[in-house]
């Protein structure tokens, strides 16, 4: 894994930005506002710095998009990538209900525009830590042991007055507070639009050797013809919640990803990994208008279950914020020899790093189109390790159909399948070296923030 550690940001750390007065003057020229009380001898401090960071990101993103739009005007319409379908905007508070109408939890907006379970926090604990949570304003909900990872995750709910990191840092011992984070909600990284239509491509299997692959995603439609030649073992991590019909586990995203990972992507295609066993951790709840989410607790429970099944690697085609608990679980997986391949995200070239692809141990994958051009909406940065086809690619759709979709979610399983096949006969270090040699170096010479080490063609 050594070649993938160079250049990636350190785990769990945010980019450290320092704004001098000269830099601020330049930013003011972009129309950004800086309140005078925010200045200190060292530059900007506190919430004002966070607000300015967000203004800078939005301003840069707007400028890049304007340049892309100008360039697009010079291209024929047929050459332009379609914009991803815009999901409906969620309310500030969305109640997730059981089949009896009981509110199970609320999906709410929190800091920096992320979503999380309302007033729920997670922390990795030892037996000696738990007494610190027996105090006013904190209610322990449960503890989840993850024996295979040597971790226990404690979930707790706080009163409104304690619902911030600053308040919890004042209340808890420093070493414990550094392990606390919100029960964030993560999203799939695929364009929500489907294009139906059979493929006439007759493709050979990618890899005939037995492999065991894990994926954490939405549920997979296991009775789809795409998986007639694939062994799928699936576990639903929300089954005990007895969700209302409108929040039942969705199957569209997971089915598409699984077809790219180990199944068939068209009626005429061969099974990609005919000797594979695919372990699927279903961790998403559905939402109105087909917007789905996975809580961090369910996500890490799924990852721990996959590890307990001794999978060769884990594919994660979802993304969200940096999180201390997620970072800890990912590091434990890597330390135990289970590689993680993740989609880098579809938020655009100027968007901040998304996770888990942003962690240095994770293999981050971006998407290209059939002309080997980068997917316009793909995230860019040091987290990109490889590129793979992911724009208007063939996938299995729900209800037994086939069609096409776009997104970095659909590029990641291509890399996962090739890596899993290589791992059947060699070490992880050698397998990654093989993929690097196989990759077509696109963009700037050597590794770059757009294509990583280059494009891994989909030979299937």
How confident is the model over 237-254, as pLDDT tens digits?
999 999 999 899 999 999
Note whether 115 and 67 are same-domain residues: no
The CA-to-CA distance between both ends of the chain, in Å, stands at 26
Active site annotation includes 132:
no
pLDDT band at 34 (very low <50, low <70, confident <90, very high): very low
The residue-averaged pLDDT of 307-311 equals: 97
pLDDT band at 23 (very low <50, low <70, confident <90, very high): very low
Per-residue pLDDT tens digits for 137-176: 999 999 999 999 999 999 999 999 999 999 999 999 999 9
Calculate the average pLDDT of the chain: 85
Among the ranges given (61-70, 137-146, 377-386), the one the predictor scored with the smallest mean pLDDT? 61-70
So what's the pLDDT on residue 21? 41
pLDDT at 64 over 90: no
Note whether 123 and 220 are same-domain residues: no
| 3-class state of residue 430 by DSSP | helix
CATH code of the domain in which 134 resides: 3.30.70
Among the ranges given (39-43, 193-197, 387-391, 439-443), the one the predictor scored with the smallest mean pLDDT? 39-43
Note whether 63 and 101 are same-domain residues: no
Active site annotation includes 253:
yes
**Prediction pTM value:** 0.84
Give me the percent of the chain exceeding a pLDDT of 90.
73
The residue-averaged pLDDT of 35-63 equals: 51
CA-to-CA distance for 439 and 447, rounded, in angstroms?
11
In a domain, 458, yes or no: no
Note whether 213 and 245 are same-domain residues: yes
pLDDT at 51 over 60: no
**Per-residue tokens: 426:** 């060699």
pLDDT band at 235 (very low <50, low <70, confident <90, very high): very high
- Options 212, 409, 458, 460, the catalytic residue: 409
Domain boundary among 185, 218, 251: 185
Task: Identify whether the C-beta of residue 354 lies closer than 8 Å to the C-beta of residue 320.
Answer: yes
Note whether 297 and 365 are same-domain residues: yes
What is the total count of domains within the chain? 3
CA-to-CA distance for 353 and 304, rounded, in angstroms?
24
Contacts 24+ apart (CB under 8 A), 244-248: 244/97, 244/98, 244/99, 244/101, 245/99, 246/286, 246/287, 246/288, 247/96, 247/97, 247/285, 247/286, 247/287, 248/285, 248/286
Each residue of 263-299: b (16+ CB within 10 Å) or e?
bbbbeebbbbbbbbbbbbbbbbbbbeeebbbbbbbbb
Note whether 74 and 106 are same-domain residues: no
The residue-averaged pLDDT of 349-353 equals: 96
Domain boundary among 131, 163, 185: 185
- Options 217, 252, 322, 385, the catalytic residue: 217
CA-to-CA distance for 336 and 112, rounded, in angstroms?
33
CA-to-CA distance for 391 and 376, rounded, in angstroms?
10
In a domain, 456, yes or no: no
In a domain, 429, yes or no: yes
Residues composing the chain: 460
Domain boundary among 139, 159, 185: 185
For residue 122, give its domain range: 93-185
In terms of DSSP bridges, do strands 103-109 and 93-97 run parallel, antiparallel, or are they unpaired? Answer: antiparallel
- Options 163, 199, 224, 253, the catalytic residue: 253
Per-residue pLDDT tens digits for 197-229: 544 454 555 677 899 999 999 999 999 999 999
Active site annotation includes 409:
yes
So what's the pLDDT on residue 6? 40
């Amino acid at each position: 894994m050594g070649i993938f550690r160079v250049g990636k940001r350190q785990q769990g750390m945010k980019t450290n930005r320092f704004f001098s007065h000269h830099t601020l003057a330049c930013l003011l020229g972009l129309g950004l506002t800086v309140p005078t009380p925010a200045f200190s001898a060292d530059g900007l401090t506190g919430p004002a710095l966070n607000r300015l960071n967000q203004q800078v990101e939005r301003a840069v993103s707007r400028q890049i998009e304007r340049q892309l739009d100008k360039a697009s005007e010079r291209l024929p319409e047929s050459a332009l990538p379609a914009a991803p379908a815009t999901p409906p905007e969620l309310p500030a508070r969305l109640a997730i209900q059981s089949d009896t109408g009981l509110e199970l939890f609320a999906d709410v907006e929190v800091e920096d525009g992320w979503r999380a379970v309302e007033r729920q926090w997670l922390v990795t604990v030892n037996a000696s830590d738990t007494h610190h949570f027996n105090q006013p304003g904190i209610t322990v909900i449960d503890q989840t042991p993850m024996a295979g990872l040597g971790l226990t995750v404690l979930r707790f709910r706080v009163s409104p007055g304690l619902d911030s990191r600053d308040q919890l840092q004042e209340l808890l011992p420093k070493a414990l507070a550094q392990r606390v984070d919100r029960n964030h909600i993560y999203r799939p990284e695929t364009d929500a639009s489907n294009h139906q239509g059979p493929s006439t491509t007759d493709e050979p299997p990618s890899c005939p050797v037995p492999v065991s692959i894990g994926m954490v995603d939405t549920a997979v439609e296991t009775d789809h013809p795409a998986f007639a030649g694939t062994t799928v073992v699936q576990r639903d991590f929300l089954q005990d919640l007895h969700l209302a019909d409108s929040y039942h586990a969705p199957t569209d995203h997971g089915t598409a990803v699984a077809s790219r990972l180990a199944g068939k992507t068209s009626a005429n295609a061969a099974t990609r990994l005919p000797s594979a066993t695919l372990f699927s951790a279903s961790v998403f709840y559905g939402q109105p208008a087909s917007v789905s989410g996975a809580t961090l607790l369910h996500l890490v429970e799924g990852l721990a279950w996959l590890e307990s099944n001794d999978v060769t690697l884990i594919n994660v085609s979802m993304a969200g914020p940096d999180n201390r608990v997620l970072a800890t679980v990912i590091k434990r997986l890597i330390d135990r020899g289970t590689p993680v391949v993740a989609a880098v995200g579809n938020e655009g070239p100027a968007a901040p790093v998304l996770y888990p692809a942003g962690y240095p141990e994770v293999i981050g994958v971006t998407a290209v189109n059939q002309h080997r051009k980068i997917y316009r909406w793909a995230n860019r940065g040091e987290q990109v390790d490889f590129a793979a086809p992911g724009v208007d690619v063939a996938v299995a759709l729900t209800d037994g159909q086939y069609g096409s979709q776009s997104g970095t979610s659909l590029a990641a399983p291509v890399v996962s399948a090739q890596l899993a096949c290589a791992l059947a006969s060699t070490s992880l270090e050698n397998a990654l070296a093989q993929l690097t040699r196989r990759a077509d170096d696109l963009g700037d010479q050597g590794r770059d923030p757009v294509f990583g080490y280059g494009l891994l063609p989909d030979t299937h």
